[in-house]
A and B are shown apart, each in its own frame.
Chain A
Amino acid sequence: MISYRNVSKKYNGLEAVSDFSLEIENGEFFGLLGPNGAGKTTLIRMTTTLTPITQGEIYVDGEPIDRDLTAIKQKFGIVPQYSTLENDLTAWENLELHGRFYGIAKNTRRERIEELLEFTELTDRRNDTAGTFSGGMQRKLMIAKSLMHGPQIMLLDEPTVGLDAASRRKIWDLMRRMNEDGLTIFLTTHYLDEAEALCSRVGMIDLGKLVMLGNPSEIISQTGKFALEYFKEGTTHQELFEEKEPAMEAAKLLQCDFKIRETNLEDAFILITNKGFGA
Chain B
Amino acid sequence: MRFNAVLWKEWIVFRRKWLSITMSAVVGPLLYLIAFGWGLGNTVSVGEVSYTSFVIPGIIAMNSMSTSFGVIANDINISRIYGKTFEAIMMSPIQMRTFTVARVTGGALRGLYTATIILLVSFLFHRDITIDAYFVIVLVLNCFVFSAIGFIAGILINSHADMAKVTSFVITPMSFLCGTLFPLDRFPKVLAIAFESLPLTQTVKALRSGVSDPSYLMSPMILAIYLIVFMLLAIRICRRAE
**Which A residues have a C-beta under 8 Å from some C-beta of B?**
48-52, 67-68, 70-71, 73-74, 76, 78, 80, 82-89, 93, 97-98, 100-103
Contacts and interface: CB of A to CB of B under 8 A. Distances in A.
B90 to A, nearest CB: 6
Interface in B94-120: 94-96
Contacts of A98: 88, 92
Interface string B1-27: 110110011001100110000000000
Given A70-B94, A88-B12, A100-B4, 5 more contacts: A50-B87, A67-B96, A74-B93, A80-B87, A103-B2
B168 interface: no
Determine the main DSSP class of B at the interface with A: helix
A266 B12 CA distance: 47
B13 A102 contact: no
A48 B91 contact: yes
Determine the main DSSP class of A at the interface with B: loop
A73 B93 contact: yes
B9 A86 contact: yes
B165 interface: no
A98 to B, nearest CB: 7
A97 B84 contact: no
B83 A103 contact: no
A71 B93 CA distance: 7
Contacts of A101: 2, 5, 89, 92-94
Contact of A86 (B85, B87, B92, B242): B85
Contacts of A50: 87, 90-91, 242
Nearest to A145: B88
Nearest to B93: A70
A71 B1 CA distance: 16
Given A86-B9, A100-B8, A68 B95 contact: yes
A84 B88 CA distance: 6
A74 B91 CA distance: 9
Given A68-B95, A73-B91, A80-B84, A100 B5 contact: yes
Nearest to B239: A67
Q: Kindly name the residue among B87, B88, B96, B239 whose own CB sees the greatest number of chain A CB atoms within 10 A.
A: B88
Given A88-B13, A89-B13, A97-B8, A102 B84 contact: no
A87 B5 contact: no
B95 A70 contact: yes
In the complex, the 8 A-B pairs of residues with the closest C-beta atoms, listed nearest first: A100-B5, A70-B93, A84-B88, A73-B93, A101-B92, A48-B91, A84-B84, A101-B5
